[in-house]
Amino acid sequence: MIFTLTFASCQQKKNLDEIDKQVESLLGRMTIQEKIGQLVQKNGDHPNLDELIRNGNIGSVLNQVDPDEVLRIQKIAVEESRLEIPLLIGRDVIHGFRTIFPIPLGQAASWNVDLVEQAARVAAIEATSQGVRWSFAPMIDVTRDPRWGRIAESFGEDHFLNGVFGAAIVRGFQDDDLSNPKSLAACTKHFAAYGWAEGGRDYNTANISDNDLYDIILPPFKMCIDAGAASIMTAFNEINGIPATGHVPLLRDLLRNEWGYNGVLLSDWESVTQMVVHGYTPNHKESASKAMQATVDMEMASTAYETYLLELIKEGAISEKLIDDAVKRILRLKFELGLFENPYAHMGDFPELLNDDHLKVAKKLAQESVVMLKNEGSLPISNKVKRIAVIGPLADAPHDQLGTWIFDGKKEDAITPLQSLREIAREKGIEIFYHRALELSRSINIQNKQGIIRDVNRSDLVLLFLGEESILSGESHCLANIDLQGGQIELAEVVATAGKPVVAIIMAGRPVTFEAIEPILDAILYAWHPGTMAGPALADLLFGKVSPSGKLPVTFPWHVGQIPIYYNHKNTGKPASNETWERLHDIPAEAPQLSIGNTSHYLDYGFEPMYHFGYGLSYSTFEISDIKIQRNQLQVDDVLKVSVKLKNTGNRKAAEVVQLYTRQLFGSRTRPVKELRAFEKVLLAPGEEKEVVFQINTRALGFHNPDMKFVVEPGQYHLWVGNCSQSGVKLEFEIVK
């Protein structure tokens, strides 16, 4: 896939120049108190909301999605306040508004950038129809720790994948023109290193090296900025001792000065005043000063700005120019959104929520997000199957299938797997035996165990729905143990005793571990939390109407103790291999303790994950062949052109994700063993063949050297093209001076 920067047309430049003139004119009429008011964001249930709006003391309101109430408060702003400045109405539109799509981690598993962009467009249309014009998404926090609850909101462990999908969300939200009433301003978050939290505990300290910060954490933000992201949100965490919301080197020096970003910079919820709790500032006044010096334009929820900025200006602690610059950025966004010309845009012509077109996109994305991890022949379900036991707490859990952060989704809209399976069963003359078995995914006691065994014994196939409730992942919902919770392992073992084929469908907000039952499962579909259309999507996959095509955006460990485990690790001086793995049970009594020949691994779990990044099976088979590099010697800024042939060698129409990885063999810093550089998802009919061509500027292979300069170094490189991070034919090329 090729990503290029786009530049504003002459007409766009003219419009921006006109907006800047309007901003300057309005700024010149504002009192200092009105300026500070634009930097304040309040929740929609604030008790003095009307008065604050009327007096020009609020610039933005969040979490108000009643269109009549949005209309009412917007009328106060533009008809009753002195300067008639409209409000920015914000909301967490994370993976859909009313039509709920798979969680972002599931969307990343689709490896379908265009489809994810379509889903974001649907979400934008639905949200703006209710008066929301600002979404606090996408979240592009790279993380290597599935214990972290917010991995559900991330696009996984790879910075390139996070950047690609983050940029797709930005484009989908904002469309081609922010002034379109159906355009939603994106807010890329969290700047920065929020997913690097110690121990996978939310809000925790991020201790991170400069090269990891600059080469892994920050690139996705730059990709979103290049896609036009209207705003950025700071992070809760501290980075190497400095809270992100007051991090002058990161926000002012890098984001503003080096990158030239002039969009709105928003704090996270109360992250300004939390600098006191971190132990970075002695009081909220100093927190306001630190955040403003770091060029944070708007404070979410807390009150440091409105309480102390005027006092700080009078004391000379901060300059009024800092305030003016922040106000300009906020006003510019309001003008770009067309709020001054049409503050009541949501009263216009919008399609209804949850319409058929929207549901069609939701179903397709749910289908493509599912990753088939195992299949020993039980899938797709054969016509010979006449009785199916559907068992498990997530087969009919309409709320939980929606996943985390679904403020505006409704469980009444969700179609569950059980509903869809029963519909297909009626058409095919199949008998369904259903047992919830566990009240919740974390419940311990299995209900009606004898009845379950009876119905499994008289079935041809078992569909076992496992996973975790939506509340077990998401913000602040972190786990030290990521095994299947409650009595699910026991349930699987009970079901398997009958000897019938068992297909597990796992619905979760993170990778879960299930080593204990993997051998007794005939097939495994990893469905994440698939959203509103989970039922129809999974039913089509199970019965073979479509083939699974998802690939893992994150590495799955065998055991929580292997974390962090990720594909783009360093080699170390003693890399492990199957030959060097000293297995725990093979060590004799009183064995001598030697260092010679030792390698980096665990005695009990070795060095390999359960499932590798990029892995996923299909109902068809594919052949990747004829891999060619156009030129084996390149210079900086040359294009690395790689072609490959992909053939569907099976008997089903199916899609495969062709993945390209590179490795720099040596450098001024040690380099990862492999890095994802490009991918393309290709749908092929049986026997069909297609040439896939990748073109990558060698500048994309660069990194920050020990002097923290971005460099593309000459030397030897390896390249792989395959369908997983651990597959592919290896080729070589060289970058020369």
Active-site residue list: 268
Distance in angstroms (rounded) separating the CA atoms of residues 336 and 256: 20
Distance in angstroms (rounded) separating the CA atoms of residues 379 and 525: 10
Both structure tokens of 290: 């630190």
Q: Which amino acid is at 385?
A: V
Cβ-Cβ contacts under 8 Å for 421 (sequence gap 6 or more): 388, 390, 395, 432, 463, 535, 539, 542
Give helix 320-336 / helix 304-315 axis angle, nearest 10°.
140
Tokens 């049970």 — which residue? 585
Tokens 């309040």 — which residue? 42
Q: Which amino acid is at 153?
A: E
CB 661 within 8 A of CB 725: yes
Q: Which amino acid is at 207?
A: N
Query: Of the candidates 201, 198, 261, 258, which has an alpha carbon nearest to the alpha carbon of residue 234?
Result: 261
Cβ-Cβ contacts under 8 Å for 176 (sequence gap 6 or more): none
**Long-range contacts, 18-25 (Cβ 8 Å, 24+):** 19/332, 19/335, 19/336, 20/332, 22/335, 22/340, 23/328, 23/331, 23/332, 23/335, 24/328
Both structure tokens of 46: 């604030």
The distance of Cα 318 from the centroid of its chain, to the nearest Å, equals: 36
* Per-residue exposure over 540-570, b if at least 16 CB sit within 10 Å of its own CB, e if not: bbbbeebbbbbbbbbbbbbbbebbebbbbbe
CB 266 within 8 A of CB 232: yes
Distance in angstroms (rounded) separating the CA atoms of residues 65 and 121: 18
- List alpha helices for 196-319, DSSP H: 210-212, 219-226, 248, 274-278, 284-293, 304-315
Q: Is 691 exposed, middle or buried (CB count within 10 Å of its CB: 0-12, 13-18, 19+)?
A: exposed
* Per-residue exposure over 704-714, b if at least 16 CB sit within 10 Å of its own CB, e if not: beeeeeeebbe
HEC per residue, 304-338: HHHHHHHHHHHHCCCCHHHHHHHHHHHHHHHHHCC
Q: Output DSSP code: residue 284.
A: H
